[in-house]
Amino acid sequence: MKRILVTGSVGQIGSELTIYLRERYGNDNVVAGGRKTEPSKELRDSGPFEIVDCTDLEAVRKVTEKYQIDTIYHLAALLSAVAEGNPQLAWNVNINGLINVLEVAREYNCAVFTPSSIGAFGLTTPLDNTPQDTIQRPGTMYGVTKVSGELLCDYYHQKYGVDTRGVRYPGIISYVTPPGGGTTDYAVEIFYEAIKNKRYTCFLKKGTKLDMMYMPDALKAAVDLMEADASKLKHRNAFNVTAMSFAPEGIEAEVKKIIPEFTMDYDVDPLRQGIAESWPNYMDDSAAKEEWGWEPKYDLQEMSRDMIEKLRIKLKS
């Protein structure tokens, strides 16, 4: 049986991935690692929770040793817009945190999953059908840390044999824990506002196409990749994965089908608009399909229907 540590377990992906892993591998075998934010009751009550600051090497080592961890899902990171506000902190958390995790993985022979992102691309990347292997010259600190992270993970695999794997996540849409300061957050906010107020002001321009994915597919991608037969993997860090691609008016139309009174207007945030324009319109994820059988379940229509159903229960409206 695996012994897993999830860093960043109280974040948008971590809070759901920890529960998903506990259902799969047993509650006691999945340690939720978090820093400051209080874990939800479900997270705290369903298995071990430990305070782990990834920028503290000793803290990562201690928890790994205490629970005899053999697999680390390393999710602790700053998202794109927040990272632009404090690039030095972003480097410290996203890179020094990662290298600590990789060092401990080397010492204790752990496998490591690290998410990269569509943010690992930049304006000189082909933005349509973005290939798996292509130009990566991002113009944001978030992107710099994501490309560096991919390279570091490959390096630890080649040099030390650490079993590192990762995906380039697109914007992740979910209803349990809100994202914290990303460029794709509008695609989550729109649902909350549609249900609560029947209107939403979007911070990205009409026509800004980006890859997106619903949380159940994001969870499945992480675990399927970590369980994939290593001999079939030509790539490791990190695989393009996507489930849908739309611009703000595309998701607006989908929400309107379910909530006809819904209206949307625009108040563009130049920072996030600039970041979004440097990211792919849609990626080619055929390497993930070929090498480990990646297949998303949710498209825009299915995701919107499920989001609204689940959020109506959560928000009791």
Amino acid at 287: A
Least separation in angstroms between CB 49 and ligand AKB:
25
Measured from the CB atom, the residue of 48 and 216 that comes closer to ligand AKB is 216
Q: Give 198-219 as a DSSP string.
A: SEEEESS-TT--EEEEEHHHHH
Interaction of residue 19 with ligand AKB, rule CB under 6 A: no
Q: How far is CA 115 from CA 19, 112, 260, in A?
A: 18, 10, 36
What proportions of the chain, in percent to the nearest 5, are helix, strand and coil? 50, 15, 35
- Least distance between ligand AKB and beta carbon 170 (Å): 6
Does the active-site annotation cover 142?
Answer: yes
The answer to the question of residue 130 lying near ligand AKB (CB under 6 A) is no
Identity of residue 313: I
The residue (of 39 and 182) whose beta carbon lies closer to ligand AKB is: 182
Asked if 29 touches ligand AKB (CB under 6 A), the answer is: no
| Candidates 73, 142, 156, 214; catalytic one | 142
Is residue 187 a contact residue for ligand AKB (CB under 6 A)?
A: no
Three-state SS letters, 255-273: HHHHCCCCEEEECCCHHHH
Residue from the set 94, 184, 245, 304 that interacts with ligand AKB by CB under 6 A: 184
| Of the candidate residues 11, 97, 119, 296, the single one contacting ligand AKB (CB under 6 A) | 119
Longest dimension (CA), the chain: 57
Which stretches of the chain bind ligand AKB, using CB under 6 A? 79-80, 117-119, 142, 169-171, 179, 182-184
Show which residues are catalytic: 142
